[in-house]
Structure 1
């Protein structure tokens, strides 16, 4: 009788240990996937930041008297590239700060592209057209990367909140990840005046 009871206890402990190990490893894999998706987001924002100096220099040759706009783009780029967020410590506040800096850069770029409408020679410049197309493509890539990050963060957040993995998540310190959200005023189309 004691032997049977001991075997049952060992079997239960073994099943719980296997569940804990596989559950923990699954959460680690999901956490790493969220971090990887964050790295993809940063890569796309960096791609945009890398395109900006070429775009500014191209416009500068045609629109030298638009110095304030050009400097605004350069300053916004500088601020946006200075903010670094550790994917392991991705709080809603840090993500909002990062997103705000990227939003300011997007706004400055919008102004830069708007002034180009006043320069027909610039609009016909092949280098400018290519840079503009690359920038548009990059903006699309940023949107896809942000969506993929949000999807992955949602999967992770759901997993750490569901029973019984929420017990493991609590024991091992897995915390909910923040999401990208629409910026304030994003529902209103910008007004462009010439």
Structure 2
């Protein structure tokens, strides 16, 4: 009888270990999927930027430094990097695009340009998609990190070297606020 109890306990512990390991793998894969979604949207934004710059250049050719800064940030975004690096580049890109749109405000004919308005609408849509992807990713990170830190799955996570994932955050509180840009002709 005692042997059956030990066998039953061993089966329960083995079953728990399998469940915990599989849960950790599932959550790790969800984090990777979430990051892939962010990466796709960042790539879409980076692909849209040259068209946006060329449109604005036609009206504000003297803004070379701004165009150069945006091109540099675009290259860094495409190059990839860690979640923290991409978050910093994304924050800088949003600020640079805000400056670009501020420049565009000074040119009523640019604001009225259909191509510019179309690009601005696409960029706005992509920014919304980045925000949604970031939420999904951060939720997946939260679930993985909770599982890694919670007892007793933290024992399984430690044995199989699961690492906590990094959140995709905006570091600067001022940058957390969505800039209001209105290019509609009045």
- TM-score with structure 1 length normalisation? 0.84
Partner of 1:12: 9
Deviation readout 1:25-51 (Å, 9 max, x if unpaired): 111001100111111111111111111
Compute the displacement of 1:150 (Å): 1.2
Compute the displacement of 1:115 (Å): 0.6
Q: Among residues 51, 69, 74, which one is paired with 1:72 in the alignment?
A: 69
Q: Among residues 118, 131, 152, which one is paired with 1:164 in the alignment?
A: 152
Pairing of 1:28-39 with structure 2 (within 5 A): 28-39=25-36
Partner of 2:47: 50
Compute the displacement of 1:107 (Å): 1.5
Partner of 1:153: 141
Does residue 113 (structure 1) correspond to residue 110 (structure 2)? The answer is no
Pairing of 1:174-193 with structure 2 (within 5 A): 174-186=162-174
CA distance in 1, matches of 2:175, 2:33: 29
CA distance in 2, matches of 1:24, 1:188: 36
- TM-score with structure 2 length normalisation? 0.88
Partner of 2:127: 139
CA distance in 2, matches of 1:151, 1:141: 15
CA distance in 1, matches of 2:60, 2:102: 12
Q: What do you get for the CA RMSD once the two structures are aligned?
A: 2.0
CA distance in 2, matches of 1:132, 1:187: 19
Deviation readout 1:51-95 (Å, 9 max, x if unpaired): 10111111112222222222221122112222333xxxxxxxxx3
CA distance in 2, matches of 1:188, 1:44: 18
CA distance in 2, matches of 1:185, 1:176: 24
Compute the displacement of 1:126 (Å): 0.8
Partner of 2:20: 23
Compute the displacement of 1:141 (Å): 1.3
8 A Cα contact 2:88 2:170, kept in partner: no
For structure 2, list consecutive stretches of 5 or more residues without a partner in the other structure.
Answer: 182-186
Partner of 2:184: none
**Which segments of structure 1 move beyond 3 Å, counting only runs of 4 or more?**
187-190
Deviation readout 1:126-151 (Å, 9 max, x if unpaired): 11101001101111111111122111
Q: Among residues 26, 40, 43, which one is paired with 2:37 in the alignment?
A: 40
For structure 1, list consecutive stretches of 5 or more residues without a partner in the other structure.
Answer: 86-94
Pairing of 1:82-93 with structure 2 (within 5 A): 82-85=79-82
Partner of 1:91: none
